[in-house]
Amino acid sequence: MAMLARLGALAGRSTQEDAQVNGGDDAAAVRVTMILAKDTAAQADVARIGLPDCSIRSFDGTLDSFAANGPLVRRTDMLVIEIDPDDTAALAALEQFAAGPGSRMAVVAAARDLTISATRRLLRSSIADVLPVPFTHEELGQAVETARRGLAQRQTGDGSGGKLGNIVVFHGALGGVGTSMIAAQAALQWAESKQVLVIDCDMQRGSAALYLNLKPRLTLADLIEADDRLDVEFLKMVAERHQSGLSVVAAPSDMAGLDTMTPEFLERLLDLAAQNYDLVVLDMPGVWMDWTALAMQKADIIALVTQLTVAGVQQARRQLDVMEANGLGERVRVVMNRMTAGLFGKYDTEEAASVLRFPVHFALANDFPTVAAALDEGVPMKKIKMKARIDKEMRQMTSAMAQDMASANAVAGA
């Protein structure tokens, strides 16, 4: 329970998806997220604000927990956040967010008792607009229109930080179920049409580089060591290129303590990676640490890999408990690996789903010869065996996930 409480504090809560969203959530609408002080929120009654071509949700958290919530950040075209203009630390943090990971959205600062000098200071930074608190319907409407005009420019991804790639986490319910195999092979499939970066976060048993037949000189340990000096040039230097075009940050070659990674560093690394790649794939160690929880907060999709055994189902349920308690349930896709087909070539996942009280989204065939050869040679499994059942199933999985992410990415005005 201690773990649940701790993670919950990290998460922050969004109004339940679509519950307080009005004006529709169609792709053309400006998607506004509001982080307001309690009394302001009560006064504004976010649920009732109706603006044309605009959907509004409120988020009950901090700038930090908003920034850590990958899908929410991705579904936000305009952030309205209430700040105290005299709180210089909070202001600096907001400016930093607006200039960095928040640069593809319009960041609007809302504040009580705004002086002209405070307004000037705010507008000189990357903050798009300033709203007085309390604001009127008209004032908010004007801010939305200003944001709408700037959005196309912000989100075209002209290489100046406008890109915001997706993040997929592969997390095993227990060891040896095929998490790394699936992460590596899925990344290869996505790399056919996207710029993909794999980061092997399995600090002690990392096998991503091995499974892609790469021998990197530099690893995640070097990134962690660089700490503040981490930048895109260094990231690209550490990332080893696979012949497919896929980039891979390998796990440390020496056994590293799981706590050498921190949530703060991982957040910076993920923000940087997402600004420079279309898709970031994380191969996770399967344990819960502060930083693994942060990775899940940042992720669009959490692939929970397991097998159809008593332990596999039971451990998956335990993982789901923690994920659901942290509001991550919607992102989870259960992947049952090493399945054996029954009569008529079908898999029976019904019982597992009922024990899990959760759908089994994808099932992958047990095919050791194909998998083992693909991992030995570090090539896509279709090169080992054309039309292998597992390759077809992997493709169904990767394209379903890509579609889910694409629809969540829908850009306002596009």
Ligand X SMILES: Nc1ncnc2c1ncn2[C@@H]1O[C@H](COP(=O)(O)OP(=O)(O)O)[C@@H](O)[C@H]1O
337 binds Mg ion (CB under 5 A): no
Residue numbers of the site for ligand X (CB under 6 A)?
172, 175-181, 207, 337-338, 364, 366-368, 371-372, 375, 390
Please tell me the distance from the alpha carbon of residue 36 to that of residue 62, in angstroms, as a whole number.
Answer: 9
Distances from the Cα of 75 to the Cα of 30, 55, 127, angstroms: 9, 10, 18
User: Within a 10 A sphere around the Cβ of 196, how many other Cβ atoms?
Assistant: 26
Residue type, 299: A
CB of 322 to ligand X, least distance (A): 18
CB of 392 to ligand X, least distance (A): 13
Pick from Mg ion, ligand X, none: which does 175 bind, CB < 5 to 8 A by kind? ligand X
Angle among Cα 385, 182, 369 to the nearest 5 degrees reads 35
180 binds Mg ion (CB under 5 A): yes
Pick from ligand X, Mg ion, none: which does 329 bind, CB < 5 to 8 A by kind? none
- Residue (176 or 329) nearer to ligand X, CB: 176
Instruction: State both tokens at 183.
Output: 């992460």
Contact stretch for Mg ion (CB under 5 A) within 32-40, 149-157, 171-179, 308-316: 171-179
- Residue (174 or 388) nearer to Mg ion, CB: 174
Pick from Mg ion, ligand X, none: which does 372 bind, CB < 5 to 8 A by kind? ligand X
- Residue (52 or 176) nearer to ligand X, CB: 176
Residue of this chain nearest to Mg ion (CB atom): 180
- Residue (132 or 176) nearer to ligand X, CB: 176
CB of 176 to Mg ion, least distance (A): 8
69 binds Mg ion (CB under 5 A): no
Contact stretch for Mg ion (CB under 5 A) within 179-187, 254-262, 314-322, 400-408: 179-187
CB of 362 to ligand X, least distance (A): 11
- Residue (103 or 307) nearer to ligand X, CB: 307
- Residue (144 or 304) nearer to ligand X, CB: 304
- The single residue listed with the structure tokens 């095993």 is 172
Strands 279-283 vs 332-339: parallel, antiparallel or unpaired: unpaired
Residue of this chain nearest to ligand X (CB atom): 178
Please tell me the distance from the alpha carbon of residue 131 to that of residue 135, in angstroms, as a whole number.
Answer: 7
Pick from ligand X, Mg ion, none: which does 46 bind, CB < 5 to 8 A by kind? none
> Hey, which residues between 11 and 30 contact Mg ion (CB under 5 A)?
none
Count residues binding Mg ion (CB under 5 A). 2
Please tell me the distance from the alpha carbon of residue 290 to that of residue 6, in angstroms, as a whole number.
Answer: 9
Binding site for Mg ion (CB under 5 A): 179-180
